[in-house]
Amino acid sequence: MVFQSTKLKSPQRRSGWRWRAAACVLLLGTLSQGVHAQEAACPFPDQKPMLVVQMYFGRTVPHRHPVTPVEWNEFLKRTVTPLFPDGFTVYDAYGQWLSPQSHAVSRDPTKVLVIATSDTPELRAKVAEVSETYRRLFHQESVGVTSLTECGAF
């Protein structure tokens, strides 16, 4: 009897193992198709998923004049360009921000920096470096940073 019981369990175990193996193969195939489907989801030829980072730099500086065009251009030249030599976009904007420390509303002329590139740990460190450098140089509480994944080709 014990022998028969063992014989009965053995095919069930093998069957369960086969089922699990088949499920793993199916899952791996689905995952790899998902990766290709994501790449194929970009609507134009040669596009690929990219991280688009927007950084918001308030130009009002406490206890002095706003960041001047000369100061901004020096910041771009010395900090941003060496970190992002492949390119970026800058445009003027007007922003409003509520300080979490003082609860005061600040209305600022603003510069927006847009960077579109591959998402890597190096990119993230460079964005943090740009933010920290600007905050230190121009006595800012923060630099706004937003990001999203988009399709792009350059």
Per-chain mean pLDDT for the chain: 82
**Percent of the chain clearing pLDDT 90 (strictly above):** 63
Q: Which H or E run contains 108?
A: strand 105-117
- For the chain, strand residue ranges (E) read 48-58, 89-98, 105-117, 144-152
Residue 131: CB atoms within 10 A of its CB come to 19
Domain coordinates of the chain in residue numbers? 1-41, 48-152
- Radius of gyration for the alpha carbons in the chain, expressed in angstroms and rounded: 27
Q: What is the pLDDT of residues 89-122, one digit of tens each?
A: 999 999 998 888 889 898 899 999 999 999 999 9
**Amino acid in position 87:** G
Distance CA 102, CA 86 (A): 38
Q: Which has more confidence, 36 or 96? A: 96
Is pTM beyond 0.85? Reply is: no
Range 48-152 classified under CATH 3.30.70.120:
yes
Residue 73: CB atoms within 10 A of its CB come to 11
Q: What is the pLDDT of residues 1-27, one digit of tens each?
A: 444 444 444 444 444 544 444 444 444
